[in-house]
Amino acid sequence: MFEADLSEFDTAGVLSAASEFAQIQERAAVRILEAALAFADRNAVVSSDPLPGCERLQVYGGAGCPGVAEFAPIEFGAVLRISTGAAASLIGEALALRHRLPRIWAAVLGGHAVAWRARKIARACLSLSPEAAAIVDRRVVGIVDTVTPGRLETIVTAAVWQADPELAKAQSEAAARARGVFVAPADAHGTKRFWVRAAAGDVIRFDATIDDLARALKTLGDTDTLDQRRAKAIGWIADPAAAHQLLEVARHLARTTTADASRNGSAAPSRNQPEQHADMHEAPVEDEAAVDAAPTSASPDVDAFTRQMLAGELPARLAAIKQHAHSNGLGAGSGRRRQHTLFVHLTDRTLATGDGVLRVEELGPLLANQLSELLGHDQVVIKPVIDLHDQVSVHCYEIPDRIRERVRLRHPVDMFPYSGAEATARMDQDHITPYDRTGPPGQTTTHNLIPLGRLHHRAKTFGGWRSRRLPTGAIEWISPHGFRYRVDHTGTHPVSPRHRAAQ
């Protein structure tokens, strides 16, 4: 069936083939769960008195499940071509099905429950006691494959709450008390989501400040929509001195325009007229409180301060406001601004033409014309390009910042197989060839260092993983059981099993 040319099938034949492929895929998913259990059973013992940093037992499936050696998911994930975290979840859910949800597990083995749905149920029950999990097991085993995924999730949630009402109450109360400010990773378009859980009064005042700044931007001549200006206000709030100055300039312009309108026999709209909020209308109504058109510097009735603030186009006006705020020490938070370092990777063509795609560390890919939006109106200091081909070394084990920076620029992600973690300043850097205190000088060098997450670093140090740099610059990894992987700037490439290292 797999080798057949599907274009030669009639429509019913194509559908039959798809159904058969789905059944094969499901059988493979069940066998992977069984393999996870067998592998966990073989990794249920570690040293009873481990040294600091050595492997420990971890319970991944919830109360009632046996512990698993901490480094086991690392190798299991690598052979499945998934991350360590995904492998730990898979092993934990398999153990939870076998030990906490035996009825659902039996249904999976008998072909009466789809593996991925059973795993979702196991995940939803992780915080339950074994007794409460058994209640869920009895209540939902008959419907795992008979209702839609959304309906199944609702039923499982209700069953979880009914099985442990005290836990449900505690979780509800904890959610009500939860406070925080959260920033999501950048999306494919170079934007981020930002949300807040805080006291209602604080959120209302914060929202009002965003509105004030959005109105101020319109007063200065910003023609973007209200939602777009509210989003821009976040950047001004991050610079309190500049935000204060922006509001002062906008109020001054509003008073100037009102006075001009009075002399001309007309009244300007009240600045206090409510502005529609983005969450009240599908198409937000533009605020009428702001001045319809900012006065120009050519107007004879505009004072010198206003002429200064309105010189040039909008970007120049906003830049002048920021410069004025910090040069005159105005507003809360005035004084020396914090400095941030951005690492931008781009080609010489993109730099010359301003057209193309670039990459900003800890943000991701951006279009070249988005870089000015990222930099805003802040002072920009250009640092010399670091030639990553240069080999820099020191004669001690400790890694100085100048070498750490070069290693991170050369390897922007964790260099362990199938790890997608970005190499931040907080990530460990590992000596590929272990440092020997009695060895030659220069062992701590950019050529002998790679970024590794702490768990992967410990697995290499204590868990039997080995690595070496190949002449191509790629890193070759050998697992404890001899599986080889090559990691380079294009990702992870498993080496054929027949080329496994000698045991």
pLDDT tens-digit map of 76-107: 999 999 999 999 999 999 999 999 999 999 99
* 8-12, 259-263, 474-478: range with lowest mean pLDDT: 259-263
Distance separating alpha carbons of residues 75 and 87, to the nearest angstrom: 9
Distance separating alpha carbons of residues 326 and 335, to the nearest angstrom: 6
pLDDT band at 202 (very low <50, low <70, confident <90, very high): confident
In angstroms, the Cα distances linking 80 to 75, 150, 205, 307 are 9, 28, 50, 66
Instruction: Tell me the average pLDDT across 240-253.
Output: 88
Distance separating alpha carbons of residues 171 and 448, to the nearest angstrom: 47
Question: 454 pLDDT exceeds 60?
Answer: yes
* 36-50, 145-159, 341-355, 467-481: range with lowest mean pLDDT: 341-355
pLDDT band at 188 (very low <50, low <70, confident <90, very high): low
| pLDDT recorded at residue 260 | 57
Distance separating alpha carbons of residues 405 and 9, to the nearest angstrom: 57
| pLDDT recorded at residue 270 | 39
Distance separating alpha carbons of residues 50 and 48, to the nearest angstrom: 6
Give residue-wise pLDDT tens across range 425-442.
Answer: 889 999 999 999 998 999
pLDDT band at 281 (very low <50, low <70, confident <90, very high): very low
* 70-74, 243-247, 449-453: range with lowest mean pLDDT: 243-247
Handedness of CA 309, 314, 319, 325 (dihedral sign): positive
Do residues 229 and 237 lie in contact, with contact meaning Cβ atoms separated by under 8 Å?
no
Q: Record the pTM.
A: 0.70
Question: 399 pLDDT exceeds 50?
Answer: yes
In angstroms, the Cα distances linking 408 to 314, 388, 412, 415, 446 are 37, 10, 5, 11, 10
Distance separating alpha carbons of residues 113 and 105, to the nearest angstrom: 8
3-state helix, strand, coil in the chain (%, to 5): 45, 10, 45
- Of all helices (H) and strands (E), which one includes residue 452? strand 449-452
- Of all helices (H) and strands (E), which one includes residue 477? strand 475-478
For the chain, give the percent of residues with pLDDT over 90.
46
Instruction: Tell me the average pLDDT across 274-300.
Output: 42
Q: Contacts from 354-361 at CB under 8 Å and sequence distance 24+?
A: 361/408, 361/409, 361/412, 361/422
For the chain, give the percent of residues with pLDDT over 70.
81
Do residues 421 and 458 lie in contact, with contact meaning Cβ atoms separated by under 8 Å?
no
| pLDDT recorded at residue 264 | 55
pLDDT band at 282 (very low <50, low <70, confident <90, very high): very low
Do residues 304 and 258 lie in contact, with contact meaning Cβ atoms separated by under 8 Å?
no
Question: 410 pLDDT exceeds 60?
Answer: yes
Q: Which residue type is seen at 350?
A: T
Question: 302 pLDDT exceeds 60?
Answer: no
Q: Which of 300, 277, 160 is nearest to 215 (CA)?
A: 277
Here the tokens at position 427 are: 């990530």
* 276-290, 346-360, 487-501: range with lowest mean pLDDT: 276-290
Distance separating alpha carbons of residues 376 and 134, to the nearest angstrom: 56
| pLDDT recorded at residue 74 | 98
Here the tokens at position 422 are: 């970005």
End-to-end CA distance of the chain: 37
Residue 81: partners with Cβ closer than 8 Å, 6 or more residues away: 418, 492, 494
Q: Which of 49, 136, 149, 151 is nearest to 96 (CA)?
A: 136
Here the tokens at position 415 are: 């260099």
Print burial letters for 133-166: b (CB count within 10 Å at least 16), e (below 16).
Answer: bbbbbebbbeebeeeeeeebeebbeebbbebbee
Q: Which of 409, 408, 406, 446 is nearest to 427 (CA)?
A: 408
Handedness of CA 159, 165, 167, 171 (dihedral sign): positive
3-state secondary structure of 482: coil
Place of tokens 């820099």: 392
3-state secondary structure of 377: coil
Neighbours of 200 (CB within 10 A): 7
Do residues 276 and 288 lie in contact, with contact meaning Cβ atoms separated by under 8 Å?
no
Do residues 217 and 229 lie in contact, with contact meaning Cβ atoms separated by under 8 Å?
yes
